[in-house]
Amino acid sequence: MAFEKGEDKRRFHRIFYHADALLTGSGQSYACKIIDLSLQGCLLEVALADSRLPDDSYILKFDLSDEISISMAVVATHVDGNRVGFRCEHIDIDSISRLRRLVELNLGDSELLERELAALGDLAEHSGSSQA
């Protein structure tokens, strides 16, 4: 998996949120650290022996508190050393609600959050119709 440099095409604001997390998939579990998050994905620091992840889906889980966690299905999009970018493929309703609140608190702008949620809905509509 190659890291593609070039024009930044992000449609979602990232928030810097440093926390420990667990990435599970391909029969492996990787301890990692979250560098940043958005409604569309995340950037993780992952200590890997071979500096590569298989091109598979993973489950990312991290705790906001002792009782509250966020879990999402993610796919690696790029690798740069021990930093790996992931795109969110699926997130349950409880986790997206928690992530939404976390992003909202860190952005400090509810209108910006609403625009990002609308863009996320547009992406879901377009990807769903292209698979039909």
Q: Give the model confidence (pLDDT) of 28-61 as tens digits.
A: 888 999 999 888 889 999 876 555 666 678 999 9
Domain annotation covers residue 94: yes
Domain annotation covers residue 112: yes
Q: Which domain holds residue 93?
A: 15-130
Domain annotation covers residue 57: yes
Number of domains in the chain: 1
Q: Give the model confidence (pLDDT) of 106-126 as tens digits.
A: 766 566 556 655 655 554 455
Domain annotation covers residue 58: yes
Domain annotation covers residue 10: no
Domain annotation covers residue 6: no
CB 88 within 8 Å of CB 74: yes
Domain annotation covers residue 9: no
CATH no. for residue 64? 2.40.10.220
In the predicted model, what is the mean pLDDT of the chain?
75
**What is the percentage of the chain residues whose pLDDT exceeds 90?**
29
Q: Which of 87-118 are b and which e, b meaning 16 or more Cβ less than 10 Å from the residue's Cβ?
A: ebeebeeebbebbbebbbebeeeeeebeebbe
Domain annotation covers residue 7: no
Question: What pLDDT score does 38 carry?
Answer: 83
CA-CA distance, 34 to 52, in Å (whole number)? 17
> How many other C-beta atoms lie within 10 A of the C-beta of residue 44?
25
Question: Helices 110-130 and 93-107, interaxial angle, to 10°?
Answer: 140
Counted residue by residue, the chain has a size of 132
